[in-house]
Structure 1
């Protein structure tokens, strides 16, 4: 089996070389693109298994690149790399489709752990038994990793799908935010419960007939969320 392919989008040569070396040492196949435009060309020509995307890039910045990737493919996981320790940047990145973020400077072990966690979840979902969950006009295909509403395909990011699949597979069960972080993101996310809220908001915009009055993704006050049939 070929090693997972990681596309590093980083304009700082020293950081790019550091990340590439760290990934290759762990058995990944890694390549570097220093501009957003180049990254989009490579992602379209040969979609990688995961993209590490710097926020601050010359030309198209990381947010613009992430948006473009999501318009073309909902299924490539994206981890944003940012030097800004700013919740606004993190939330915006998640809202436009990033699956995770990591703030510079970061430790190699943390970066590798996050990459592996996301790839493991994607792989695990792809190997799940064929099941299709139906809730009225909403259909969640766990094997094909697709979601349709009234027959129309809905584009979800890998993390959005994993979150929806977990909740929809356990209708009526209440999940706390920390539990969702652990099960969907695959590791201790240091209490970043806002990440869950952002993903739920995005899902509501995509699957709910009326996002302001959700019928599927229901908030349980002071606890978390549950999926209602």
Structure 2
């Protein structure tokens, strides 16, 4: 190849690189668990950033145009979002007032409002969380995660863990029974099978006290281990991995002389 041909080839390569820049490979990470959000909005086009950010934040998002449709499906959600941004001030205020008396089955809710409407609201009279929209990028994800975490303890016991359901939630823990895995904030907590079985037994009890003897029978398949403290040892290990403390329990409380239960 002549010198002139080499120069011509180099120029062609430069043009190709300018037209089609090399893309850096981005590792795609699948969401280990998801939470479900229902959005009720008469004009969803105006809040497409909400749907996009929540979807990117590992939320399954369902959008309903009509209030009745959204509420019929509310019990399947972890959070309800009511979009009031498309209403005029008077209409939005009336809608806001009606939502204060709306039954949601214990599902926490978030209201999206325009800044102009927010200035007319007496926040002391509002039971739900409010967010002025548009907001900063990813702010909707932060508020959704926070509201779901704070409302988890107030949900019905059946929403904590039910036989055959997966994933299940307890406070900020997600339990995937199909994969026998536990997650917090999307990060897997590495548990042994025995530690996992102990946690599930405590969750299944829905706050009732489980004696050491019953745990021995349920988890180890025996009722007598000759005074062994095997249960206490494994509970201590489970607590350590969960970041829990016996003196100030978040997940597992000790009932002195009896056994263990879920913490309040």
For the aligned pair, the TM-score class normalised by the smaller chain equals 0.3 to 0.5
| Structure with the greater alpha carbon radius of gyration | 2
Higher relative contact order (CA 8 A, sep 6+): 1
If the length of structure 2 is used for normalisation, what is the TM-score?
Answer: 0.39
If the length of structure 1 is used for normalisation, what is the TM-score?
Answer: 0.44
